[in-house]
Structure 1
Amino acid sequence: MFPLAALPGIWWAPIALGMALGQGARMDQAAEFDVIVLGAGAAGLMCAARAGQVGQRVLVVDHADEPGRKILISGGGRCNFTNIHAAPDRYLSQNPHFVRSALSRYGAQDFLELVERHGIAWHEKTLGQLFCDGSARQILAMLLDECAQGQVEIACGAPITDVTHADAQFRVAFGGRVARARALVIATGGPSIPKLGATGFAYDLARRFGLKVVQPRPALVPLTLPGDEALFRGLAGVASPVIARCGKASFREAALFTHRGLSGPAILQISSYWQNGEAIGIDFLPDEAEGWLLAMKREQPRASLRKVLSARLPDRLADALCERLGMTGDLGNLSDRVLSAAAARLSGWLFHPNGSEGFAKAEVTVGGISTAELSSKTMEAKRVPGLFAIGEAVDVTGWLGGYNFQWAWASAVAAAQAI
């Protein structure tokens, strides 16, 4: 065996499969473990470390050449590793109560204590988002170190070719080798960002075990606009603070116009709630009270709408909105009814996206392995003892800003404690 602790430094090199499972191992000689974790991402590594540190023999298998690839690109390379406001109402799921148990038992403060124990400097940005002062590599190094403490073995660059279950044992074939364990953890995430190797493997495997899957779709993703909104697509690069709404959901953050449509934090947030065919509403002037434009008419009757808007919005956006409203001339020459209608439209401008930029640009996935199939306390499949699902593989999706990492940590710990 080749324990992770023997690897020098914090940089990762894929463990040669022959070394990981024994040079003499053959397809009919399965290496024995207590737990096999599929996926070397945030949830998988956290679960493996926790299980290993209480004496479980743990193997992590991943088809990627190195672990934690999504961790490394997160937060602009500084890893928004949690959010101090993480709470059940910040998550989407067909069962909105499913996250309560895991989050209550392992919260943002618990993970922050782990970060500080490893000497990682951090800072809080807006809306409770916590980032590394240095690099996301520090979080990955921390997780690998935690795995090393638990003598976890990690096999990267190892495509999984078969998974079977018989006699209360799971058998996993990968890279020409075989391992067997009494517990199997699905932590391979969803299909978002396929360029990093993301696939729908978790869903295919869950279905093989008879578990239902909630139809996955891209989330935290830019939205595209149809041709009749070309005027706004011409504003590429313009950003402004807004309130974005869809149904009962609303987010006050920045919106960004792109060559294809809409992006920025407010749009990414609302995209998780948006469904094809729905409109989204944008309040371009969230700080203005009702009746503000009528007040401006009284205060500055000779001012134009464009001048008034340019004092509050980027010039190019003010021009585009005025053009769409078709309003020229001084405010004093416009009726109160016309101005009230303009103000109402500016506070609830409707866009009708024709789609999103898909899994290629989605940060996470809405949908996944149905929570109805899992115990909210342990993450274990109710109908398949010993089978667990955690992290993004499950039908739980957090808001932008560290919430999805916190779900990864919390669900991983819940599973590890139950194995």
Structure 2
Amino acid sequence: MRGEHFDAAIVGAGAAGMFCAIEAGKRGRRVLVIDHAKAPGEKIRISGGGRCNFTNIHAGPANFLSRNPKFAVSALRRYRPADFIAWVERHGVAWHEKTLGQLFCDGSAKEIIQGLLDDMAAAGVTLRLGQTVERIEKTGEGFRLLIGGRPIDCQSMVIATGGKSIPKMGATGFGYDVARQFGLAVTETRPALVPLTFDVSLLERLKPLAGVAVDVRVSCGKARFEEAMLFTHRGISGPAILQISSYWREGQEIEIDMAPGVDVFDELRRARTTHGKQAVATVLGRFVPQRLAQLLAGDVPGNVADASDKVLRRVADAVNRWRVKPVGSEGYRTAEVTLGGVDTDGLDSRTMAAKAVPGLYFIGEVVDVTGWLGGYNFQWAWASGWCAGQAC
């Protein structure tokens, strides 16, 4: 059966796929974007609490995890945060910096999606939603995709289907299957930027803290982040924990300082002299939320004046050096991204093309490049999509 023909077919109407389509369409390429979802850019829509943390002004190779950390250098240097900020401003989207270089829309994330749709339309891109790719074959001229029983032929094919995170939004391992079909390796994948969970006994002890937030410094190995942490009914979450989750592995401890910059032992000893009649929990309440202070000092009877150095050291270490071993994470259900993916050894870092399969490209989250929390993964989507859009 003779099928429709396009110069480039892009599978995935997320941030990377749509941005790639725009760039390829601007080059005069006849481009088709296909997605099984009913609406484009769903991860864009829900990101940043509906305001889309669309980039980070500090985004650079150091903010990304990959088996080959140098792979992302070329794309991130060729398409920078300033370039996407200019795009945002051209589309009249008002924005602000929140913290740590994180940029958000003043209004709705839907403004970013509409800007992408407008640019695709202007570039002559064809968008088809609610359609599933049933089969892909290599042909002499490129590729043949079977969609709804009908063939579509293309010279170039771009896989922009993301990872496994948030399956309720339709996330699957489709992109990894395509990579393997064409002989590309896929590194181990796992949930990243995800809350961590505790065992039942620890959860029972920490039950009174559910909903308590505290600024912390958390470390695992050489990785360290200083942001907020939230106690939950399952364990711990919040920006600091989501960040460290990308570095943590089962069986490892993490260390949490719940009063960064404060030597709690020194403060407790000082209070023993100056405010000896106060309870230990009262003193701790100066540095951590009261519910947390009460839990940590719950088994210390009497006033701070009555507590020995050994007791105060134990309490202080529970604040400044809490070592805890999570039993797992909440998994792909709540993970913001997928760690790992298509092995970068098989890709060209300038174009995102598969080295051994002419015309095949992988961009965005499906690739083994994972950013920190805070707009970094969107910047990778724009940058990798832009690079592939110059070549596909």
TM-score normalised by the chain length of structure 1: 0.90
Where do 1:320-339 residues align within 5 Å?
320-323=295-298, 326-339=299-312
Match of 1:24? none
2:388 maps to 415
> How far off its partner does 1:177 sit?
2.1
User: Which of 288, 310, 313 is the equivalent residue of 2:285?
Assistant: 310
Report how far residue 376 of structure 1 moved.
Answer: 1.2
Return 5+ residue gaps in structure 1 as ranges.
1-27
1:146 matched to which residue of 2? 119
Instruction: Give the match for residue 245 of structure 1.
Output: 219
**Distance in 2 between residues matched to 1:188 and 1:405, nearest whole Å:** 14
Output aligned runs, 1:349-364, within 5 Å.
349-364=322-337
Q: 1:275 aligns with which of 241, 249, 264?
A: 249
- What is the one-letter code of the residue matched to 2:276? P
Q: How far apart are the structure 2 equivalents of 1:53 and 1:313? A: 54
Q: 2:105 — aligned with what? A: 132
- Per the TM alignment, residue 234 of structure 1 is displaced from its structure 2 partner at its CA by 3.5
Contact 1:212 1:370 in 2 (8 A): yes
Q: What's 2:170 paired with?
A: 197
**Residue in structure 1 matched with residue 315 of structure 2 by the alignment:** 342
Mapped to 2, the partners of 1:321 and 1:338 lie a distance apart of 11
Q: Is the 8 A contact 2:53 2:105 kept in 1?
A: yes
3-state SS in 2 of match to 1:259: coil
* Aligned-partner residue type, residue 34 of structure 2: V
Cross-structure match for 2:270: 295
Aligned partners of 1:233 and 1:261 also within 8 Å: no
Whether contact under 8 Å (1:225, 1:233) holds in the other structure is: no
C-alpha displacement of 1:137: 0.4
How far apart, in 1, do the equivalents of 2:20 and 2:359 lie? Answer: 14
Q: Distance in 1 between matches of 2:257 and 2:130?
A: 47
Structure 1 CA distance, aligned partners of 2:87 and 2:166? Answer: 28
Q: Which amino acid aligns with 2:309?
A: D
Q: Given the alignment of the two structures, is residue 99 of structure 1 paired with residue 72 of structure 2, yes or no?
A: yes
User: What per-residue deviation string (whole Å, max 9, x for no partner) do you get for residues 176-204 of structure 1?
Assistant: 32211111111000010111111010111
Q: How far apart are the structure 2 equivalents of 1:259 and 1:130? A: 30
- The answer as to whether partners of 2:297 and 2:315 remain within 8 angstroms in 1 is no
1:32 matches 2:9: no
CA contact (8 A) 2:296 2:315 kept: no
TM-score (norm 2): 0.97
Out of 165, 170, 181, the position equivalent to 2:138 is: 165
Question: Take 2:107 and 2:149, find their aligned partners in 1: how far apart are those partners?
Answer: 39
Measure how far apart 1:294 and its partner are: 2.6
- Partners in 2 of 1:347 and 1:372 — Cα distance? 41
Structure 2 partner of 1:262: 236
SS at match of 1:199: coil
Q: Distance in 1 between matches of 2:236 and 2:9?
A: 41
Cα deviation, residue 168, structure 1: 4.0
User: Cα offset for 1:219?
Assistant: 0.7
Q: Aligned residues: percent identity?
A: 54
- Are 2:230 and 2:238, in contact at CA under 8 Å, matched by a contact in 1? yes
**8 Å CA contact retained: 1:294, 1:340:** no
**SS of 2:71's equivalent?**
coil
Give, in angstroms, the shift of residue 301 of structure 1. Answer: 2.7
Give structure 1 regions of 4+ aligned residues with deviation exceeding 4 angstroms: none
